[in-house]
Chains A and B, each alone.
Chain A
């Protein structure tokens, strides 16, 4: 979706390696989110952020680290990748006070851990 970009689109990494998924939005939305999508589980919230320097855990935060030093960027780091972290990762953003517009999602990063 225009305005929120994720990179890379595809990534293959080895078990134990650190990998960072990038998310950048151009609207200055306050809220940003990371979800992972797996068959049979739908989307599960990993971490979210209400503003720069404010982050909080979601449903499945273990093994992940986030930071938000700038409003427009919300990178997700897998500190030591495991096969169970093979998934499609989606970043989303939302603006407080514009709830009727819902979240805007990026196109996703398909991560394979071998």
Chain B
């Protein structure tokens, strides 16, 4: 079964707006990662947040982590048409083996 589940499954916004995607997971983790996938391409790593961190920033990306609720959110500010992609969270489930389980993803469409 999936460790992470993203919400919403699909999101459509106007360019310049902010996009927020959520990820919920089932078991305790060491780290959580977010990835982007453009259509027909492989996944690209965006950001990693550790279980002892609550918030992390990278450019227009802001990731939060609430371990008590077993959830994370990815915020993309001032979205651009080029942000159109699918976004996945991945968790390591305390395995200690660098093995990550991916969620089902959020499809983001940014309209110009």
Chain A residues with CB under 8 Å of chain B are 1, 31, 33, 35, 40-45, 48, 50, 56, 58-59, 90, 92, 94, 96, 99-108
B43 partner residues in chain A, CB cutoff 8 A: 43, 90, 92, 103, 105
Contact of B41 among A35, A99, A107 (CB under 8 A): A107
Contact of A59 among B45, B101, B103 (CB under 8 A): B101
Closest beta carbon of chain B to A30's beta carbon, Å: 8
Report the number of A-B residue pairs with Cβ-Cβ less than 8 Å: 61
B104 located at the interface, meaning its Cβ lies under 8 Å from any Cβ of chain A in the complex: yes
A sample of 21 cross-chain residue pairs with beta-carbon separation below 8 angstroms, ordered by A number, consists of A1-B42, A41-B104, A42-B2, A43-B102, A45-B101, A45-B102, A48-B97, A50-B97, A56-B97, A56-B99, A90-B42, A92-B43, A99-B98, A101-B45, A102-B33, A102-B35, A103-B43, A103-B45, A103-B90, A108-B41, A108-B42
A35 partner residues in chain B, CB cutoff 8 A: 102
CA distance A107 to B41 in the complex (A): 5
B25 located at the interface, meaning its Cβ lies under 8 Å from any Cβ of chain A in the complex: no
- With A31-B98, A102-B35, A103-B100 in contact, is A42–B88 under 8 Å at CB? yes
